[in-house]
Structure 1
């Protein structure tokens, strides 16, 4: 059975890697045919045929579910148009710097002729639009509202090593996003009495109670207690996550399986003890079975209160399987229990395999079962217990190593020590206190939890100063080899060949990403929405040409796109950061890049950035590749005008082939370049000025550059209308191939003496949900 479930899981995972959906019923038919020999016991190979059948059924199941979900979509023609809808606030509202964001279940569309997906995500902006009367929308889960909204189909930035927002939306069944128009929203009902909405309202009430008792302004760790009580990780301050990642305790600050198990065990024990004291109850149902049922109910309630994350699901399903086995009088092996939990998770949510928590949760528990309960629990003395705790930490840390290197490119060296302290404190002190404060909203309880957390954070900040193992993202084969190495390393002592396990770990830990050969430059124009962030690499050097936009007070492209991308490449030091001009869609990620990476030199047109000012004529050569700044000149700085006019223009050239990076220059700047350096404008690839605005890309400039390929960094459905139709027409008339980050994702340019080769991330790594 376990192999069958693993085969089913591999089929589900394989489907999520596809660029398009197969015909699900053909796979289901193939699975049924392959199962026939096993049903009739016709051949000795039936075991292997059954495994193949389960794999095919996994593909069929995931494909069928995806087909149903993708069919619930918004028509392209209705993107960006006013639509009046009625529905219910479905989840915890999340405040951000300019408003509130929340999930919304559609009940009725009041605008004729449109079909809106059943679940959407809406934002209400309070101050960014400078409209009188706007304020934060006081929405609560379960409320029924009438809104006028503008929607768009699911779309996220597509970059190597970055978070796949479209996959996340698909998993949560959010099939459109948009914002509430300033037309007066109308509250129709204060509560919709359905179980899911009641749970979300309870979560909301607990979060509000915590915030009222311990205001975040005076108590900085309140968000952590909220996360432990109701699973709202967004309540945690964003600047704390680097500390948790560096110490390897991120999993402990979410609703983990250990927390659910602890709550279930506590309630089961209490009911067991109380049940025994009432004879007529014990006669009708043994106290042990009553305790098991109570534990399952407590686990179900806590998992629901915590938002039903994958670790909580896994633990809940394992407890349910174990409870059914106990109630039926059967003994089920722990590994079989884990396999059944895996099956239920994938049947309920086939997209869970795309989440890091899925792999970390099942990987850690699988490693502990692999080590064996006899090994972990052997002995009663303090030495044996200490050794058992060390075995647990060693197994969990080693099992997570391939996953962490593949997904996050780092491994905390201090993680065993940090977890040895943090897990008991969080699981047995902070989480019980947080849950008690949720049940009994009394300030001293929450204050005590915050005080304990104060001490723990001091320890974690100390641990965060320790070094972290960082390596480029290894290829899949190296990660699989590392997983095999972990299995060998965790064999019992005395087993021959354990040292081979460490050999298999080496490729993943010391993988070296390819770099451009001498005389070549690789230029990546990243997909950051409406803005610009690009990376230029030569054999031994790296340059960031703009770190991207500021999205909100909580996030920017440097943090969300540029730094994760460079870490997948194993780059922690940058030779030059060039911030072309002041506009926040180009400079907004500067602080995050400077905080996360070692930057040898900053060059920009912003005096507050320090470093070297961009000036035409600056030239340097890296590894046989020439770089030259063509704009601005000193007179541009002296003029009192738009910051666009001092944008740093950079020419990258090798072997007579070149790329021209133009940032946000406009028509006057293009004319100045034509007059000052006409012989340096011709290029094979052009980064289109100002995102395709009509203020740039004059016909004379396009003719002088004469680029075979042009790349437009632009946001999906840009609110500025970029790129303009007349600009696109000019480039098409000039015979240029147009690449767009909103359509193609990140665009990679390989510049070498023989010419320039371009590739789009969405083409090379397409998934079936992209653009749908």
Structure 2
């Protein structure tokens, strides 16, 4: 045990090295090997023993770089187009299904013998039993997501889950192969069998059964998207899956029951703690297996095992166990650092231990209240940083929901699997159904606060303030700490100066969303798809400090342009909505009219739409917006085709001149007429496109035309979201997410103009 305590002295530095390695811009190991060698030599000399901490940190960096490089070599090559591949796959998990498609993870054997793990999508919704093997034909692409200021990082998620590519199964191109039989396949089939145990209760209690599947076997896809929307304002996402909290609480409950049973045995049990700990460990392992050994459950399972092996009075302190658990998790999988759940779970546990050290001798009820206070206070900073929102009633809801979920619903769900009695499964489904209905009702009144994204220094300062607030005395700095938290929540990014306009082209995949900010007004041109608006656009608008819109422009009725209209209207409440096809919407909308112009804070805005022939396609109805500030202008044409561009030329000719042109129809060959491009004569052309999109946007003919005219092409699929300012100064673009660590392939910094 003395050796473990010695190891715990340098383990934090090794962990810091592993975590810090993912911030490095390059994955060069040689300098770190040199530093490790020098520090190892120095710590031999008397008085230089402190060098062992630096050695441990260098060792952590080297280990993480080596392991990550092995995973990166298994990633699909970065190409701009999807590729057709004939491969052999083995389904490794329960497929996630909704109304449009089935999605599942599979081990893939390529024709060259290489093994990879892919995330496959099947829009024909065929059956893909876990453990089954198939020969299929699929369209494959590398995993490159949307990159903005904040939001979900798809590359980090894929690496953390060891997924090397995304693919779509070609319809009718699959052939069954003999299935394999290993422990992983057996585990997946067992989970699928458990999931089907509530089939008789689905008709009567659909939401309840979906919740039971999520809690018992980790089948989160059983819950519809509408259900997840109600968990966010309540702060309950961590409870509606097999989380570390469930594993820990269930293990403690099992250990307590074991201890009570041992007390009533007719014979005296020597060292009963051995049996209670073994019960806790076995419970944690079985419950984690039901979840498919997901990363959050692995962490809790390891922590329980470490506690069972090392806990003795005076052996290891709480934080030593915490560091040891993190080190074991990272030794097993250093890429867990890229998971948001890794940071949330471990940091919240650390905050609870930090707060509990000063109140260890308090009454139990007071310890519970202080623990809830500590978790709620820390969540304000952590959840706001990770997700951009603060569910205001989350502490109160969690105080009631945590014991209900962990002590009632989860044990009842598991008992209904173990005991083959229909009335028990019905009771579990009944209670879960009414729980979901109550949560739906509460969520309708639950307020949320959306702070703007503050500078990193303020986030770090706020985390320190939380730790000081949780100390018993707080070092008499509590008023200052509260002031820092208030400053974080009330932070507002600087506004453009009078007569200037900030243009942000958001990365929304294969879609379009451009926001225009003046000193006191906000305009949004298009919203992207419904998914992009929910996952990328809305969080980033809030992070930029945009709480309300003065105007929402919907260029035309196409899902990649107005798919998020309803969402944006509900959350940002635009003062006016203008659309190219107003008859397509159920809410009040004004029509785009050529000649409509106005001025905001010294910035000129005008619509240039021309009359459209009756039989023209919907793209020709696109709103055309031109914004002028000082001597700079930007022109946005939606999906306007060449016919509409020629009409603009006939009406405005040289008055179309603009330094920035948002390419029509994402750079399609059906837009960007050569005379139109030469008349607008932009310095920059921006293509808002999705990575490896099936349409080939921007088209090679458009790219060649732009190169011939000396126009710089900027693509969101290469550099992500970007912004510039229209003012008297020269146009300079900057990325919304400018730093790229070595493991991330987007943004491609070389694609930005110098």
TM-score, scaled to structure 2: 0.92
Instruction: Give the C-alpha shift of residue 202 in structure 1.
Output: 2.1
What corresponds to 1:371 in structure 2? 355
Over 3 Å counting, the alpha-carbon distance change for 1:239 and 1:762 in structure 2 is same
Is the contact between residue 557 and residue 584 of structure 2 (CA under 8 Å) also seen in structure 1? Answer: no
Structure 1 SS opposite 2:520: coil
Instruction: Determine the C-alpha separation between the residues in 2 that align with 1:96 and 1:664.
Output: 30
**Structure 1 residue 564: Cα displacement:** 1.1
Q: Residue 584 of structure 2: which of 590, 604, 608 is its match? A: 608
SS at match of 2:493: coil
Q: Which residue of 1 aligns with 2:159?
A: 170
1:392–1:78 distance in 2 versus 1, CA, 3 Å:
closer
Change (3 A) 1:459 1:10: same
* 1:119 match: 117
After superposition, the Cα gap between the structure-2 partners of 1:459 and 1:587, relative to the gap in structure 1 and judged at 3 Å, is same
> What is the match of residue 473 of structure 1?
453
1:701 alignment partner, one of 658, 671, 676: 676
The answer (yes or no) to whether the contact 1:491–1:498 under 8 Å persists in 2 is no
CA shift, 1:97, in A, is 3.0
Q: Which ranges in structure 1 are unaligned for 5 or more consecutive residues?
A: 127-135, 380-384, 551-555
- Report how far residue 373 of structure 1 moved: 5.5
Is 1:711 the equivalent of 2:654? no
Q: Is contact 1:246–1:464 with CA below 8 Å preserved after alignment?
A: no
SS of equivalent to 1:716: coil
Aligned to 1:323: 308
Which stretch shifts more, 406-415 or 621-630? 406-415
Kept in 2, the 8 Å contact 1:78–1:151? The answer is no
Identify the residue that residue 437 of structure 1 maps to in structure 2.
Answer: 416
Contact 1:216 1:223 in 2 (8 A): no
Q: Provide the C-alpha distance between the structure 1 equivalents of 2:350 and 2:279, rounded to a whole number of angstroms.
A: 26
Does residue 277 of structure 2 align to residue 292 of structure 1?
A: yes
Distance 1:750 1:150, change over 3 A: same
Residue aligning to 1:343: 327
Match of 2:218 in 1: 231
Summarize the alignment of residues 533-552 of structure 1 with structure 2, pairs less than 5 Å apart: 533-550=513-530
Once the two structures are TM-superposed, the CA of residue 547 in structure 1 deviates from its matched residue by 0.4
Q: TM-score, normalised by structure 1?
A: 0.90
Retained in 2: the 8 A contact 1:690–1:696? yes
Q: Please say if residues 422 and 456 of structure 1, whose CA atoms lie closer than 8 Å, have aligned partners that are also in contact.
A: no
Structure-1 separation of matches of 2:625 and 2:370:
55
* Contact kept in structure 1, 2:80 and 2:692, CA below 8 Å: no
**Superposed displacement of residue 685, structure 1:** 0.6
Cα shift at 1:355: 2.6
Aligned residue number for residue 752 of structure 2: none
Q: What is the aligned partner in structure 1 of residue 67 from structure 2?
A: 65
The 2-side partners of 1:150 and 1:441 are apart by: 44
Q: 1:367 to 1:392 in 2, by over 3 A?
A: same
Distance 1:522 1:494 in 2: 42
Return the alpha-carbon distance in structure 2 between the equivalents of residues 455 and 217 of structure 1: 12
Q: Count how many residue pairs are aligned between Structure 1 and Structure 2.
A: 737
The counterpart of 2:318, out of the listed 329, 334, 339, is 334
Report what 2:4 is aligned to: none
The aligned residue for residue 606 of structure 2 is 628
Select the structure with the greater relative contact order (CA < 8 A; seq sep ≥ 6): 2
Task: Give the Cα separation in 1 of the matches to 2:13 and 2:491.
Answer: 29
| Among 252, 255, 258, the residue aligned to 1:265 | 252
Matched residue, 2:370: 391
> 8 Å contact 1:147–1:185 — kept in the other structure?
yes
Distance apart, 1:507 and its partner CA: 3.0
Tell whether 2:720 aligns with 1:745: yes
Instruction: Name the counterpart of 1:487.
Output: 467
Q: Report what 1:42 is aligned to.
A: 46
Taking structure 1 as reference, are residues 410 and 732 closer, same or farther at Cα in structure 2, changes over 3 Å only?
same
Partner of 1:451: 430
**Residues 108-257 of structure 1 correspond to what in structure 2 (within 5 A)?**
108-109=109-110, 111=111, 114=112, 117-126=115-124, 136-190=125-179, 192-210=180-198, 212-215=199-202, 219-257=206-244
Q: Is the 8 A contact 2:666 2:688 kept in 1?
A: yes
Give the distance between the partners of 2:196 and 2:722, measured in 1 at CA: 44
Deviation for aligned residue 1:764:
4.5
**Alpha carbon RMSD of aligned pairs, Å?**
2.6
Deviations 1:680-711 (A, max 9, x none): 21000100111111111111001100001100
CA distance in 2, matches of 1:304, 1:518: 60
